[in-house]
């Protein structure tokens, strides 16, 4: 399952070379707290497989991507934000503000979230 990319920050978190506050692990995904949180709950859910952007998601990756949402549901319940509401969002490429090129679902909650985002 693991396809580590040598210069990828999140692959280094997956291998344990860089520390993170990991709160969830499954066969296909892990989740850890964002180092610069934008909400009381701000968790990043990433696949174990290195996929750079949404544009690089292959036909064979659909169940992996689905598992990111399954993780979001579970973590939101654990964080106590499932009923009030939360956002699960993935940025793609520069105009959307993607800075780490290993796909990650931002799970944000614990406060009122404006729409549309900036």
Active site (catalytic) residues: 104
Give backbone dihedrals phi and psi of 8, rounded to 5 degrees, phi first: -95, 125
Q: Is 98 an interacting residue with respect to Zn ion (CB under 5 A)?
A: no
Give backbone dihedrals phi and psi of 31, rounded to 5 degrees, phi first: -140, 145
The residues in 42-71 that bind Zn ion, with binding defined as CB under 5 A, are 50
CB of 66 to Zn ion, least distance (A): 19
Peptide bond into 36 cis (omega under 30): no
Residue 89, contacted partner among ligand AMP, Zn ion, none, CB below 5-8 A by kind: none
In the shown chain, the binding pattern of residues 54 to 93 toward ligand AMP, with x for contact by CB under 6 A and - for none, equals -------------------------------------x--
Give backbone dihedrals phi and psi of 42, rounded to 5 degrees, phi first: -140, 100
Query: Are the beta carbons of 110 and 81 closer than 8 angstroms?
Result: yes
Q: Is 104 an interacting residue with respect to Zn ion (CB under 5 A)?
A: no
């Amino acid at each position: 399952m693991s396809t580590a990319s040598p210069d990828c920050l999140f692959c280094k978190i997956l291998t344990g070379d860089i520390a993170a506050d990991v709160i969830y692990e499954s066969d296909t995904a892990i989740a850890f707290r964002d180092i610069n949180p934008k909400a009381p709950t701000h968790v990043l859910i990433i696949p174990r497989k290195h996929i750079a952007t949404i544009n690089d998601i292959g036909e064979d990756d659909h169940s992996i991507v689905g598992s990111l949402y399954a993780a979001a549901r579970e973590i939101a319940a654990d964080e106590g934000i499932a009923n009030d509401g939360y956002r699960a969002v993935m940025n793609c490429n520069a105009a959307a503000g993607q800075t780490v090129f290993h796909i990650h679902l931002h799970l944000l909650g614990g406060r009122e979230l404006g729409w549309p985002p900036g």
